[in-house]
């Protein structure tokens, strides 16, 4: 499967109306200076990073996969692990697809969780589990990070900025071992600015539970290292589009098909 531009544009028009479609098309390749104060699905918009996220993930379709979205919609209480939540646009999208979703949000910036929780409705707040760590292949290291704006989507462990703080590293296995006891995870979304390959090496137990993975990669090392590791773990690539790759866990999906209903 590949990116379907016509489907994505028509679907965006249907969900967000023509005026908002034209706004996003006009600002597609420009710096965001002003934005609508309210958007269907996402609610009140207060930060330009929200517009950039919606433009990239929803309008341009990098996050979209028709089959997987249908599965999320029809699954009872789907479990989604969102690594790199930033301003919570993708978190809101999961709850839109299925209001019964349980979403584990992981980000090294505590402000990302504060912003996301603030924009969620009361019901969705109960189904959102925030985890503040820097995902890595091992746990309990203390990492010094720098940044200019805490909600900037490009913040990463190698960033340089005027502000500085320390964060703890943790593996994905550790993050989910206590709070997520289910034997299945419907979707893992990974957008952590260059650290994905390192993160996957600390997720060996979690990967056995996952049906689908969405990865946004930021350099060749992150892409190649992630693909190699995930293919050895039993995943195959079902879709590519620019800097985005969708993986499917072939073994888990085959086992799920033969389980008695």
The residues pairing with 104 across neighbouring beta strands, listed in sequence order, are 81, 129
State the pLDDT confidence band at 253, using cuts at 50, 70 and 90: low
Q: What is the reported pLDDT for 185?
A: 97
pLDDT tens for each residue of 189-241: 999 999 999 999 999 999 999 999 999 999 999 999 999 999 999 999 999 98
pTM of the predicted structure, to 2 decimals? 0.93
Does the pLDDT value for residue 72 go beyond 60?
yes
Average pLDDT on 1-13 reads: 76
* Count of C-beta atoms within a 10 Å radius of residue 149: 15
- Count of C-beta atoms within a 10 Å radius of residue 6: 7
| Cβ count near 72 (within 10 Å) | 20
- Say what the pLDDT of residue 167 is: 97
Buried-exposed string 170-192: b where 16+ CB fall within 10 A, e elsewhere: bbbebbbeeebeeeebbbbbbbb
Q: Per-residue confidence at 33, pLDDT binned at 50, 70, 90?
A: confident
* pLDDT confidence bin for 255, thresholds 50/70/90: low
pLDDT bin (cut points 50, 70, 90) of residue 4 is low
Distance CA 203, CA 200 (A): 5
* Mean pLDDT of the region 75-88: 97
Tell me the two tokens of residue 235: 């995943």
The predicted-structure confidence for 149-181, as pLDDT tens digits, reads as follows 999 999 999 999 999 999 999 999 999 998 888
| Terminal Cα-to-Cα distance of the chain (whole angstroms) | 28
Query: What is the per-residue pLDDT for 26?
Result: 86
The phi and psi torsions of 189 (rounded to 5 degrees) equal: -105, 130
What's the confidence (pLDDT) of residue 1?
A: 46
Is residue 108's pLDDT more than 60?
yes
| Residue among 76, 82, 70 nearest 99 (CA) | 76
d(CA 97, CA 198): 30
Measure the CA–CA gap between 153 and 84, rounded to whole angstroms.
9
Please provide the average confidence, as pLDDT, over all residues in the chain.
92
Residue with tokens 């590293």: 169
Tell me the DSSP string of the chain: -B--HHHHHHHHHHHHHHHHHHHHHHTTTS------SEETTTEE---HHHHHHHIIIIIS-TT--HHHHHHHHHSSS-EEEEE--TTSHHHHHHHHH-TT-EEEEEES-HHHHHHHHHHS-HHHHHTEEEEE-EE-SSS--EEEEEES-TT-TT--TT---SEEEEEEEE-HHHHHHHH---S-EEEEEE--TT-HHHHHTT-HHHHTTEEEEEEE--SHHHHHHHHHHHHHTTEEEEEEETTEEEEEEHHHHHHHHHS--
Listed by start position, the domains of the chain span 65-258
Determine how β-strand 185-190 pairs with β-strand 210-216.
Answer: parallel
Q: Which two tokens stand for residue 17?
A: 């109306």
Tell me which range, 19-28, 52-61, 110-119, is most confidently predicted by mean pLDDT: 110-119
Place of tokens 């693909």: 227
* CATH topology for the 65-258 domain: Rossmann fold (3.40.50)
Lowest mean pLDDT of 1-10, 42-51, 82-91, 244-253, name the range: 1-10
d(CA 19, CA 194): 35
């Amino acid at each position: 499967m590949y990116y379907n531009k016509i489907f994505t544009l028509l679907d965006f028009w249907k969900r967000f109306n023509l005026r908002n479609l034209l706004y996003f098309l006009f600002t597609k390749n420009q710096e965001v200076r002003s934005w609508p104060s309210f958007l269907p699905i996402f609610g009140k918009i207060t930060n330009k990073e929200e517009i950039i996220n919606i433009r990239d993930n929803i309008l341009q379709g990098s996050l979209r996969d028709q089959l997987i979205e249908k599965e999320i919609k029809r699954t009872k209480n789907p479990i989604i692990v969102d690594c790199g939540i930033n301003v919570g646009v993708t978190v809101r999208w999961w709850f839109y697809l299925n209001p019964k979703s349980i979403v584990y949000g992981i980000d090294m910036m505590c402000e990302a969780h504060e912003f996301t929780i603030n924009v969620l409705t009361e019901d969705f707040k109960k189904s959102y589990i925030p985890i503040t760590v820097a995902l890595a292949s091992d746990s309990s290291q203390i990492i010094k990070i720098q940044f200019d704006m805490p909600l900037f989507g490009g913040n990463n462990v190698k960033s340089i900025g005027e502000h500085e703080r320390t964060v703890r590293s943790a593996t994905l296995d550790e993050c989910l071992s206590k709070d997520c006891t289910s034997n299945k995870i419907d979707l893992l979304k990974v957008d952590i600015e260059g650290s994905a390959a390192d993160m996957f090496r600390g997720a060996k137990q979690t990967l056995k539970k996952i049906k689908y993975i969405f990865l946004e990669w930021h350099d060749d090392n992150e892409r190649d290292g992630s693909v190699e590791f995930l293919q050895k773990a039993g995943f195959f690539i079902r879709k590519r589009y620019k800097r985005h790759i969708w993986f499917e866990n072939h073994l888990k999906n085959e086992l799920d098909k033969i389980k008695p209903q």
